[in-house]
């Protein structure tokens, strides 16, 4: 029996959309939750980057990694255009994944 795989390329931003992070994972809900709860030390924890504003899905891990690297090389304007095309309001898409945004969405400056 063949197991179906899912890989996600995702973009996170901070409370005022000034800082952006591009990542790849095989479990989007878990990974976004980790960012929101600051479970993993690093860039997103330091800069409070926890709002999911864009993601793509693919069954191919190599395609996911290549796409993440491609997007990371883009200028900020091109990343913004990608988000705007799919999510013009820059809404936190983690709500669609059932993650509790009200507990972790930091709208105030930290």
pLDDT in tens, 33-50: 999 999 989 999 999 999
* Residue 8 near residue 24, CB atoms below 8 Å: yes
Helix (H) or strand (E) holding 53, with range, is strand 51-58
User: What pLDDT score was predicted for residue 101?
Assistant: 47
Q: What is the DSSP letter of 17?
A: S
Residue 17 region, left (φ>0) first, then alpha (ψ -120 to 50), else beta?
left
Whether the pLDDT of residue 51 is over 60: the answer is yes
- Please report, for residues 13, 46, 59, the alpha-carbon distance to residue 20 in angstroms, rounded to integers and kept in the order given: 4, 12, 24
CATH of domain 7-104: 3.40.1440
Q: pTM to 2 decimals?
A: 0.86
Of the chain, the percentage scoring pLDDT greater than 70 comes to 88
Nearest to 92 by CA among 103, 78, 81, 76: 103
User: What pLDDT score was predicted for residue 100?
Assistant: 59
Q: Give the separation between CA 57 and CA 63, rounded to whole angstroms.
A: 10
Structure confidence by residue, pLDDT tens digits, 82-93 = 999 999 999 999
Confidence class of residue 99 from pLDDT cuts 50, 70 and 90? confident
Q: Give the separation between CA 17 and CA 12, rounded to whole angstroms.
A: 9
Helix (H) or strand (E) holding 72, with range, is helix 61-73
Instruction: Name the residue ranges covered by the structural domains of the chain.
Output: 7-104
Whether the pLDDT of residue 30 is over 70: the answer is yes
């Amino acid at each position: 029996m063949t197991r179906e795989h899912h890989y996600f390329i995702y973009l996170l931003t901070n409370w005022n959309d000034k800082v952006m992070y591009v990542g790849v994972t095989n479990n989007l809900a878990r990974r976004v939750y980790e960012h929101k709860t600051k479970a993993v030390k690093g860039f997103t924890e330091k800069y409070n980057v926890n709002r999911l504003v864009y993601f793509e899905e693919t069954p191919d891990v190599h395609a996911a990694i290549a796409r993440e690297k491609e997007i990371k090389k883009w200028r900020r304007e091109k990343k913004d255009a990608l988000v705007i095309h799919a999510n013009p309001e820059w809404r936190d898409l983690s709500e669609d994944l059932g993650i509790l945004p009200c507990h972790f969405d930091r709208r105030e400056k930290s």
